[in-house]
Structure 1
Amino acid sequence: MQGNDGPSERVVRYQCPACGARFDDIFVGLEHTETTEGNVPLRRVA
């Protein structure tokens, strides 16, 4: 097993367009963007 700092290890992060908060976990991001009006769509960032 090798370390996960190689170029093959792509980490997808998600960003809340409303406040700019970034999340490594899609579920945490979805929970964050849940509002009374519905969900704010997350943006994928590198």
Structure 2
Amino acid sequence: MGKKKKKPDSSPPHKASATAPPDKPTAVTEFLDLWVEFKKSIPFE
């Protein structure tokens, strides 16, 4: 959150989180983890 590797005018923070840029692997990993936990919480039979 506090680390800015991209250019400031490259893309707004809200748009960056929505597009999930490749330079944020941690965000993608966290999203996948949350998605897996979400799927686990819902029993599909």
Same fold by TM-score greater than 0.5: no
Whose Rg is larger?
2
TM-score (norm 2): 0.31
- Structure ranking higher in helix proportion: 2
- Structure ranking higher in strand proportion: 1
TM-score (norm 1): 0.31
Larger relative contact order (CA 8 Å, sep ≥ 6)? 1
